[in-house]
Amino acid sequence: MRIALDHVSAEPLSDQLSTALARRILRGSLAPGARLPTVRALAEELELAPNTVAKAYRTLERERLIATLGRRGTFVVDRLPERVPGRERRLAEAAEAFARRGAQLGFGDEDVRRALNRALRTR
């Protein structure tokens, strides 16, 4: 599973991972019922500590996007929770587009955050 994580970002790696996986689930690129790699396998693949991956998985379980079925594994839920309204999805997509555009223009994460904070203060 290819997931880009920013190891120098102030955002914890577990949060980055849970966000990336949630995004894939909400977009449908991780299909309902899809089996996720084990904590150890994903940690090894992404060169992370197993506890980092486990924390990301726990976050996704709390959000009811994945379910762990004991030894059978961890799976994307068959039905997304109703509390994921379209407006939250649209906001996440707008934030993604803003972050992507900032990177295209050559700005780092901190520059993008500062720009967003300035925009929030001036509205």
**75: region left, alpha or beta (phi > 0 left; psi from -120 to 50 alpha):** beta
Q: pTM to 2 decimals?
A: 0.67
Mean pLDDT value across the chain: 90
Examine the pLDDT at 87 and tell me if it is beyond 70: no
Percent of the chain residues topping a pLDDT of 70: 93
Q: Which helix (H) or strand (E) holds 66?
A: strand 66-68
